[in-house]
Structure 1
């Protein structure tokens, strides 16, 4: 992931924490071109798409955020984004098991929460 100046990172943080609202899908798409690997931004974009009844696009945006969250070792936000994705379309059992495998096989087990979550059984 590229390093951006503090000012640019600050705008991402403000969007994510809700102190800056972007209501335009096009503006969000422009931000995602600048910050393509920022999982929280993809999640916020997906939330906007749900609000705008763009369910298929929101499903894709949640999926991207889940992948980026897992790639960066942020398992709990990945689980939240996955649950929001599943609110759009109920998962098949296979999809649930595939997500469980991603969480279980997380390479960031040095974090206590990740170690705990990756140790849970599928039914837990």
Structure 2
């Protein structure tokens, strides 16, 4: 084969075409739409997420986590003393004791199992 031959497999790279900033047909802002889609996905992920802010050796924290484990509900445990973001969360929301269970946008202070059941739809 000659070196000057046009071979799309050997000599040319296929590069993805850049996304337009505006749709040529309807003038929608593609970047704004993409941002809205990312925000919606983050909100959807947040809706089902369970986070428990805990303190070491906290019996009530353990009670809430054991309740969730027994029902097969996944959760994220965040230790307040070792996490600056958790400390900021507690201070900014006015919480002074643990556990604080966050289910979607609902915050439940203490080992309020009945409130946790309601928030989870159990």
The two structures share one fold, judged by TM-score above 0.5: no
Higher strand fraction: Structure 1 or Structure 2?
2
Of the two structures, which has the highest relative contact order with CA contacts closer than 8 Å and spacing of 6 or more?
Answer: 2
**What is the TM-score when the length of structure 1 is the normalising length?**
0.23
Higher helix fraction: Structure 1 or Structure 2?
1
**What is the TM-score when the length of structure 2 is the normalising length?**
0.23
Larger Rg: 2
